[in-house]
Amino acid sequence: MEEVSVNGVNSEQAIEGQGCETFLEIDDERADLDIQNGIPDGRKEFVAPAVGMEFESYEDAYNYYSCYAKEMGFRVRVKNSWFKRNSKEKYGAVLCCSSQGFKRIKEVNRLRKETRTGCPAMLRMRIVDSKRWRVVEVTLEHNHLLGSKICKAVKKMGTVSKRKLQSSSDSEVRTVKLYRALVIDAGVNGNSNITVRESRSSSDHSDQLSLKKGDAQAIYNYLCRMQLTNPNFFYLMDLNDNGCIRNFFWVDARSRAASGYFCDVIFLDNTFLSNKYEIPLVAFVGTNHHGQPVLLGCGLLSGETTGCYTWLFKAWLTCTSGHHPHTIISDRCKILQSAIAEVFPKSLHRFSLSHIMRKVPEKLGGLRNYDAIRKALCKAVYEALKPFDFEAAWGFMIQHFGIADHEWLRALYEDRSQWAPVYLKDTTFAGMATARPGETLNAFFDKYVHKQTPLKEFLDKYELALQKKHKEEVLADIDSRNSNPELKTRCSFELQLSTVYTREVFKRFQLEVEEMYSCFSTTQLHVEGPVVIFLVKERVMGEANRREIRDFEVLYNRAAAEVRCICSCFNFYGYLCRHALCVLNFNGVEEIPLKYILPRWKKDYKRLHIPEQGSGNAVVTEGIQWFSQLYRSALQVVEEGVISLEHYKVALQAFEESLHRVHNVEHKIE
């Protein structure tokens, strides 16, 4: 699970701020969750101790563990404490269940009832570089029955801790302040009150997540399962003032690792939320080095409001250590646009063309001459190479068909710089553009979720979808690494990239090489300083399957090794187009310049790439950077190590050898 730190604070101190604090309110009165994991009925859940939790002080740590113990039904005592030499400064401690150990022999015959059972439950913590107390070892299991709520432990608390606990006991609400250890100031709204509560219908509560019976239990069970099986799992919750879930964000370990490689361009898929699906899901989707969709995070929102989207984006930003994507693609939505502008001011926001074109039948289907209008619209969108061409084609369409007053078309034209390909040629899409007819951005959960899929079923299908997608990526990695693609031409460009690109991306580039033969003329138009402008003529398939000739201007700077085509294939898809290749070939260039071979398409990209760390307010230490890189590297071995028994044996042996070598380094230092 994601490292968190817990610090008891007065609930009245939960004010709005720009730190990444998230406030969780846990209501003592709630007893509506029927937890079937050994916790007595009617007892509320408290954030369970976990390795990686961090506290501002020893008192806060003791306060937290005592509160947890009270809810679970056991007492806490200090088993050990460690102090710095010649100082009273404490640097380590072990808190344990009061039933830990056994009585000394000389005390056995005393009349007091025996309560020691050798209980293993404990929490070990120590001070770390940040001067906070970190939990380094936890045992949750007890070997005895847990009693009712116990208050005696409060007597052992320090004055400050007592005051914090007493101030909240009047209202029977405790507030737990959570820090995400990897990011201290990522800009998450600090006024998010959180709980896990079985919610009734949200029809009367617009600011709470619509949960049906059993949904809260399903979320709780899912989080417990992830805590046991997914050590780098990350989640955040947002509660309303009544302590009900408003928004929920989570990222599994593999998706977190993928965000370190593939969050340069993301697609915000809010289809399920905007189309009123049973699950109000928003997914963060990227594309990997094979051109496959990869999940980078998920959220459940209570509604399509700027506040909900803003909270979700800040939660994702927290998870990615403050890293802003270069480009964000989303549905055309003013609310989304406002939230993205607030949270991701450094990112370019563009509307999904495929989503817009998908709405054409709905928005224009009732118009007279619909087929002709749709045809004219597609011609303006997909064939215009310059803004003037697009505006002229659009003007002809609305005048010819008398639709100048159509509200949807008028609003669409006003937003043209956000979605029309002709205006987006300077935007990097990393293969997620849909600038050609028929191209779509596939939803990550296609075939897994329908409109009536309940939340409990989705959480199961979520894991199945991830397993399937990750398996596809691993198999594509193996295929790219262990086989060579068949060459279809004698072009040096094809040979050059056949050993560099992954197989799927190479196939896409290979098509551009093949289509060089449809370009029958490359001529120099004029020279502007060091830049030479060429005209490339291409035979393309037009209406009624008739061949047409189209002209493409290509700018070439030999000294700077730069080439740019007016079709902007490189920015849209991440590799050079047939027209640019023709100009390079015309000028005697036999190898594509390195600046046009994007590392993200290379076979060994994940092995060579060091993910960028966040900027802005995110505080990322050197140790955290090392941890992130080591974790991602180890995860690659794990993913391929489960393919077969032989893979497993090799991976396990490699881990054992690596650990032995690391231990040797430690001995040398000593």
Q: Answer yes or no: do 5 and 128 share one domain.
A: yes
Domain count, the chain: 4
Q: Answer yes or no: do 502 and 408 share one domain.
A: no
Q: Contact 347/329 with Cβ under 8 angstroms? A: no
96 lies in which domain range? 1-9+26-179
How deeply is 49 buried, as exposed, middle or buried, from its count of CB atoms within 10 A (0-12, 13-18, 19+)?
buried
What lies within 8 Å, CB to CB, of 658 at 6+ separation is none
Let me know if residue 645 belongs to a domain. Answer: yes
Three-point CA angle 303, 306, 307, nearest 5°: 80
Q: Contact 446/472 with Cβ under 8 angstroms? A: no
Task: Determine the pLDDT at residue 13.
Answer: 27
Q: Answer yes or no: do 384 and 503 share one domain.
A: no
Let me know if residue 380 belongs to a domain. Answer: yes
Task: Determine the pLDDT at residue 527.
Answer: 95
Q: Answer yes or no: do 151 and 2 share one domain.
A: yes
Let me know if residue 568 belongs to a domain. Answer: yes
Helices (H), 13-151: 58-72
Task: Determine the pLDDT at residue 667.
Answer: 60
Q: Contact 192/21 with Cβ under 8 angstroms? A: no
Q: Answer yes or no: do 42 and 144 share one domain.
A: yes
Sheet holding 519-528, edge to edge: 519-528, 531-541, 547-557, 562-565
Q: Which two tokens stand for residue 25?
A: 């309110």
- d(CA 412, CA 381) in angstroms, rounded, equals 12
Let me know if residue 186 belongs to a domain. Answer: no
- d(CA 505, CA 595) in angstroms, rounded, equals 17
Q: Which two tokens stand for residue 524?
A: 């120099």
Task: Determine the pLDDT at residue 196.
Answer: 31
Side chain identity at residue 389, one-letter code: D
Neighbour tally for 95: CB within 10 Å: 25
Task: Determine the pLDDT at residue 623.
Answer: 60
Query: Which stretches of the chain score pLDDT less than 70?
Result: 1-46, 102-115, 130, 148-206, 608-625, 627-628, 632, 666-670
**Nearest Cα to Cα of residue 199 among 47, 6, 27, 49:** 27
Q: Answer yes or no: do 412 and 498 share one domain.
A: no
Q: Answer yes or no: do 586 and 649 share one domain.
A: no
Helices (H), 415-561: 455-482, 492-498, 503-514
Q: Answer yes or no: do 32 and 171 share one domain.
A: yes
Domain boundary among 179, 195, 216: 179
- d(CA 24, CA 237) in angstroms, rounded, equals 8
Let me know if residue 467 belongs to a domain. Answer: no
Strand partners, 541: 547
**Nearest Cα to Cα of residue 210 among 240, 189, 254:** 240
Task: Determine the pLDDT at residue 60.
Answer: 86
Side chain identity at residue 301, one-letter code: L
Q: Answer yes or no: do 37 and 71 share one domain.
A: yes
Neighbour tally for 539: CB within 10 Å: 14
**Nearest Cα to Cα of residue 210 among 302, 311, 312, 309:** 302
Distances, alpha carbon 100 to alpha carbons 38, 68, 117, 374, 660, in Å = 20, 17, 6, 75, 34
Q: Answer yes or no: do 150 and 118 share one domain.
A: yes
Side chain identity at residue 178, one-letter code: L
Let me know if residue 396 belongs to a domain. Answer: yes
Q: Answer yes or no: do 626 and 594 share one domain.
A: no
Domain boundary among 418, 441, 472: 418
Q: Answer yes or no: do 141 and 43 share one domain.
A: yes
126 by DSSP, 3-state: which? strand
Let me know if residue 14 belongs to a domain. Answer: no
Let me know if residue 410 belongs to a domain. Answer: yes
**Nearest Cα to Cα of residue 181 among 229, 232, 139:** 232
Q: Which two tokens stand for residue 84?
A: 């710095």
Domain boundary among 127, 148, 179: 179
